[in-house]
Chain A
Amino acid sequence: MRGRGGKEKLFSDRNINLQVRLCCPRRNNRTTQEPTFQYDFPWLASFRVPALPPGVVLGEQPLPPGVPSGSGLEAGPKAASPFYPGCSGGGGDCEARGPSWSWLTRTCGRHTQTWPSHSPKPRSSLGQRRCPPQPGAGPGFPPRSPPLRPAQRWVICSSAAVTSSRCRGSAVPWFLPLGGMEFAELIKTPRVDNVVLHRPFYPAVEGTLCLTGHHLILSSRQDNTEELWLLHSNIDAIDKRFVGSLGTVIIKCKDFRIIQLDIPGMEECLNIASSIETSEWRLSYVNKEFAVCPSYPPIVVVPKSIDDEALRKVATFRHGGRFPVLSYYHKKNGMVIMRSGQPLSGTNGRRCKEDEKLINATLRAGKRGYIIDTRSLNVAQQARAKGGGFEQEAHYPQWRRIHKSIERYHILQESLIKLVEACNDQTHNMDRWLSKLEASNWLTHIKEILTTACLAAQCIDREGASILIHGTEGTDSTLQVTSLAQIILEPRSRTIRGFEALIEREWLQAGHPFQQRCAQSAYCNIKQKWEAPVFLLFLDCVWQILRQFPCSFEFNENFLIMLFEHAYASQFGTFLGNNESERCKLKLQQKTMSLWSWVNRPSELSKFTNPLFEANALVIWPSVAPQSLQLWEGIFLRWNRSSRYLDEAYEEMVNIIEYNKELQAKVNILRRQLAELETEGGPQESP
């Protein structure tokens, strides 16, 4: 039974924040693969969308036939079947269902529950109790690390899936809203000891800080001392500062009170801060019919203060309707990467107040941001003649514009053709080979792209500034830069699932026109001007970083090669079409299978897993010096030389690692045995 298999998977993995089911109808039983694509937004959990988006009301959407609409424990297991189109319901009638797109399922231990909205949520034990605190480990305090936490995550199933995505065509998983979520779910660290509270005119208080579903509580746990109980909803703004490992959070309240908390430990401090922070972002469904921007997905993340009407106006001011949207949220400091199309300022310097307001809304007070234009100043200026252009300093005074020059279209295609030609000729002498390699300019493009991505990452992580990235359309070099910056900044994007999610988000959903760009490769004589190896360049850049940080990626080179192959020719539907809207019209979800569903099967995954992977939570800065960049032999010399010895060496390496694991396991078993023998022996011995 397909349904059962899918369900187990869905609820077993507790580490996944958001799981989204890819609709992947199987017309015959060719395979019994697991059609689940687990899609997670590493950074999404760090901001919350306090209210559900308009038009989407939890629990009120019509459920697919066969699912009892009542709330209760039965919803989970039974609801599993409609996740699979074809099992129930069928595709025909789903158009009528309107914007229903998801329901929230909460897994709690073994039970799965569906909460109808507006029904009283069961309050977490933390929030309910308001007994006066007692000395010592008072019962008023939440138990240390509530046992529920790890298992208790919102699993949001894009049953979406069934209805909306099939009809409206979003293959996946957008950001599924954390709307309606309990605040407790956002609490990363429920409790920190040795926190010092500073308030004007009061002595500093040292105590334990607790976050509950509704309150921030600080207690010194002394008799007769006052405690601080602060409603989360009273928090207006938060500032973070660090001196060494001591973090300071300054909380500014809506009633004008300002308090300061000194929290030892940087990570703790960041967790606390991001737990109580309110989000400045919301999901917008303005593009749900693909009317505002044909190349955007139906749901995008935009600043909360900008309404859909303004977005529509901004869309008319940006190339291809690609108004600025959130691409990445850097948890560490709350800075963001946004991307868009070029502004249509034209020769007469048109401006758009809403556009200015939108991108300014992403800046914190007094902060400046950077606009990275992936074209040289010259090219950007020339674009004005065709109605395009760039942001004028006068109209965007809080932004500093940086021009970088990343090539596009036929220049890249020619570069690829030259490179492949050079690699294919074994008779070249050394000088000719080197000059051909140089003339192809491939590595120059790599360096340009990586440099720009590093610059973007640097702005975010080092300068603490938000950035907006665009080129002309915002579908090529823009995506290269936003996605590579995330590889550099975000450890999750270096895992297999995270990287899949990145491709899905930053390439497929963001509207990189795969159909056009990857129609032909290096050998075809018919040259179309929209062909370009943009995605291959991106993969090559990832490979360069992978080479420099060989232990920080969960996937290996083969994974990148596989993605390259499938982007150009694939039996799966994932890379077909130029954007979501096209994929929807093509009904790819009903007619084709998803690449991810195949790749994520354990048997396939094992080929793509990097045996050296050890999670590295740091930002990784690659070197972009020409001496550090190399020709990607796995792609370009793949068919031109025997890699037998290299493959064998790799196998040997894997063997050593496997053997190491084996030995470690064995040693552990033996030690346990020995310990058992000792304890058995102990009592015998004592009398």
Chain B
Amino acid sequence: MEHIRTTKILHHHIASVEKLALTTSGCPLVIQCKNFRIVHFIVPRERDCHDIYNSLLQLSKQAKYEDLYAFSYNPKQNDSERLQGWQLIDLAEEYKRMGVPNSNWQLSDANREYKICETYPRELYVPRIASKPIIVGSSKFRSKGRFPVLSYYHQDKEAAICRCSQPLSGFSARCLEDEHLLQAISKANPVNRYMYVMDTRPKLNAMANRAAGKGYENEDNYSNIRFQFVGIENIHVMRSSLQKLLEVNGTKGLSVNDFYSGLESSGWLRHIKAVMDAAIFLAKAIMVENASVLVHCSDGWDRTSQVCSLGSLLLDSYYRTVKGFMVLIEKDWIAFGHKFSERCGHLDGDPKEVSPVFTQFLECVWHLTEQFPQAFEFNEAFLLQIHEHIHSCQFGNFLGNCQKEREELKLKEKTYSLWPFLLDDLKKYLNPIYNSQSQRFTVLEPSTVSFNFKFWRNMYHQFDRTLHPRQSVFNIIMNMNEQNKQLEKDIKELESKIKQCKNKQTDDILTKELLHSIHPESPTLKSSLCFKEQTLLPVNDALRTIEGSNPTDNRYSDYAEEFSKAEPAVVSLEYGVARMTC
């Protein structure tokens, strides 16, 4: 066998395994993955198929954290390297970059031992004038104890983005400490006395919560607040929306009209737009009105994370760099307790807790990169890679649901951090046309007119290569950029050699060795060769897809044959990886 293609699928990526009705050629097995890959196997013997089916079912749903891949993944690093990896992102450093602590904001040690809020990190920044009793009092009035804390501080405007969970206000309850804390937040902003309170839920949902003793802030009880609903749906709506979207995408012989009506009825883009609109509202409040903003939803770890992080991304160009984006995810998602393990279904748990909240955030960022192609240091591949790893369980970053849980799991000792591995491959993730200098990109003002939102084919059809452009402008430009750097180097080298040569000639003391050393190096030849190759898609099968992209792949309706199913010669189950060899 000359040509062996191996498809590796992590067990953790398996979202569902399905056995279809027996056919003449064997028993079909369909595996749907969390990274939107769909694989069809045909296993010749039904018994084998059944065995594989059962094993995969078990392997894809682990009961304990310790069984996850990250705990056995060994990239051959020693402990100090591992530790360095984990120290790459330092949030204290990040708050310093923002300009806190300062005269108005300070580090609170209230949650040092996770006593006030288990799902918050240890280090929290609060207004300097908010005393510990106020904090404690406020936390008792907030769902899961998630009291208002600083998420992002805008140094120029001296305005802050704060986040919390919903108040336990019910129909009439109030809490003076909470009111004081909000007061303190608005006072911490010397420019503007009023602050916005953004409830990211639809008004109806918030009102329904009042019946359960929760709810939203009453404007009458809080002085100087402007209350605003922004209407992002809850995790269950998002989950079924994605479900519908994937169903539409999986339809064979999909017509254009079915695609668009499916896209519409799934509501996916509507939800994306809602998140984006909320983030823009947030950014505008800070940029235009100089007002601080407090963001919450129900528990303050899903929609709140989306809106705060996206809002900061719009405001601060640092978060649009590779490192900054990592920091942003560490801060607003990991540290503030977005429940990655539950939302991504790392363990065999409640399927109702699974929801593509983080995926939506990545998609919003992608939409921004589409509108502002030069504003981001990273490219689409970076987003896709991060998405891959929130599900892969290969690294420790996204395991667990909050910092406390992660410490208990001793993730920093037992697993590796994703970020250094991404930085190792940095070249792949850089945007060749990134413009870091441009002043215009300090604050992004995206347009949210509906037609600006497009279906993210490269995410949801990542692995259906026939649907993608056969030649990627982006990759070519990226390679060319790389090549330019190499050429610049070559020019310097050549120039210095010419100089040497000239000097030697004038000195008339030529030594043979030097001349020899000049000759064999022909960097241009090398680099231009590799350039030629890379102009086609750099993905392994580029050549094949360009020329041979066979028409049957392309769904020319009548003529298209049924999707040819890969018939695996060997299906072996190894630890952690199902290997398909065709």
Tell me the bound Cα distance from A612 to B468 in angstroms.
18
Cβ-neighbour of B371 out of A625, A645, A656 (below 8 A): A645
What is the CA–CA distance of A663 and B490 in the complex, to the nearest angstrom? 9
Find B480's partner among A455, A628, A657 (CB 8 Å cutoff).
Answer: A657
A673 in contact with B498 given A549-B471, A625-B554 (CB within 8 Å):
yes
CA distance A616 to B432 in the complex (A): 24
**A184 contacts partner chain B, Cβ-Cβ < 8 Å:** no
Interface residues of A in 659-687 (CB under 8 A from B): 659-660, 663-664, 666-668, 670-671, 673-674, 677-678, 680-682, 684-685
User: Which residues of A are found within 8 Å of B518, using beta-carbon distances?
Assistant: 674, 678
A677 to B461, CA, bound (A): 55
Contact of B554 among A434, A435, A623 (CB under 8 A): A623
Tell me whether A549 and B524 are in contact in the complex, defined as CB-CB below 8 angstroms, given that A454-B551, A646-B373 are known contacts: no
Q: Is A310 an interface residue (CB 8 A)?
A: no
B508 CB, min distance to chain A CBs, angstroms: 7
CB distance from A549 to the nearest CB of B (A): 5
Q: Does B156 contact A (CB under 8 A)?
A: no
* A660 with B480: CB separation less than 8 A: yes
Among A127-135, A385-393, A437-445, the one that faces the other chain is: A437-445
In the complex with contacts A443-B256, A649-B373, A657-B480, A614-B547 CB distance below 8 A: no
Let me know if B8 is at the binding interface, CB within 8 A: no
Residues of B within 8 A of A267 (CB): none
How many pairs, one residue from A and one from B, have CB atoms within 8 Å of each other in the complex?
Answer: 211
Q: How far apart are the CA atoms of A431 and B453 in the complex, in Å?
A: 12
Determine if A551 is an interface residue (Cβ-Cβ < 8 Å).
yes
Find residues 47-100 in chain A having any chain B CB closer than 8 Å to their own CB. none
B-binding residues in A (CB < 8 A) = 402, 423, 426, 428-435, 437-438, 441, 443-444, 446-447, 451, 454-455, 458, 462, 547-552, 612, 614, 616, 618-631, 637, 640-642, 645-646, 648-649, 652-653, 656-657, 659-660, 663-664, 666-668, 670-671, 673-674, 677-678, 680-682, 684-685
| Residues in B neighbouring A653, C-beta threshold 8 A | 432-433, 473, 477
The answer to whether B559 and A455 touch across the interface, beta carbons within 8 angstroms, is yes
Q: Is B87 an interface residue (CB 8 A)?
A: no
18 residue pairs from A and B, CB less than 8 Å apart: A429-B270, A430-B450, A434-B261, A434-B264, A437-B451, A550-B472, A623-B468, A623-B554, A630-B454, A641-B449, A645-B372, A645-B374, A659-B484, A660-B484, A664-B524, A666-B491, A674-B518, A681-B515
For the complex, what is the distance from the CA of A70 to the CA of B329, rounded to whole Å?
84
Question: Which residues 464-518 in B have Cβ within 8 Å of A in the complex?
Answer: 464, 466-473, 476-477, 480-481, 483-484, 487-488, 490-491, 494-495, 497-498, 501-502, 504-505, 508, 510, 512, 515, 518
With both chains docked as a complex, state the minimum distance between the C-beta of A46 and any C-beta of chain B, in angstroms.
21
B243-293 residues at the A interface, CB under 8 angstroms: 249, 254-261, 263-264, 267, 269-270, 273
Q: Which residue of A lies closest to B435 (CB)?
A: A652
Q: Choose one: B260, B498, B546; the contact of A438 (CB below 8 Å).
A: B260
Contact between chains at B491 and A444 (CB < 8 Å): no
Q: Which of B264, B450, B488, B524 contacts A668 (CB 8 A)?
A: B524
Q: Which B residues touch A674, using CB under 8 A? A: 494, 497-498, 501, 518
Chain B residues near A641: list those with CB within 8 A: 447, 449, 451-452
Using CB atoms, name the residue of chain A closest to B495: A670
Most A CB within 10 A of own CB, among B267, B273, B484, B551 = B551
Q: Are A681 and B470 in contact (CB under 8 A)?
A: no
- B554 contacts A621, CB within 8 Å? yes
Partner of A670 from the list B254, B374, B491 (CB cut-off 8 Å) is: B491
Q: Is B564 an interface residue (CB 8 A)?
A: no
CB of B528 closer than 8 Å to a CB of A: yes
Query: Which residues of A are found within 8 Å of B470, using beta-carbon distances?
Result: 548-549, 620
Contact A626 B535 (CB under 8 A): no
- Considering only CB atoms, which chain B residue lies closest to A453 in the complex? B556
Q: Is B102 an interface residue (CB 8 A)?
A: no
Given contacts A620-B546, A623-B554, contact A652 B255 (CB under 8 A): no
Contact of B484 (CB < 8 Å), options: A432, A663, A668: A663
Quick one: given A451-B557, A670-B494, A684-B505, are A549 and B469 in contact (CB under 8 Å)?
yes
- With both beta carbons as reference points, the residue of chain B lying nearest to A624 in the complex is identified as B554
Within the complex, which residue of A444, A547, A680 is in contact with B505, where a contact is CB–CB below 8 Å?
Answer: A680
Cβ contacts under 8 Å, B421 to chain A: none
What is the CB-to-nearest-CB distance from B286 to chain A, in angstroms, rounded to a whole number? 22
Cβ contacts under 8 Å, A455 to chain B: 556, 558-559
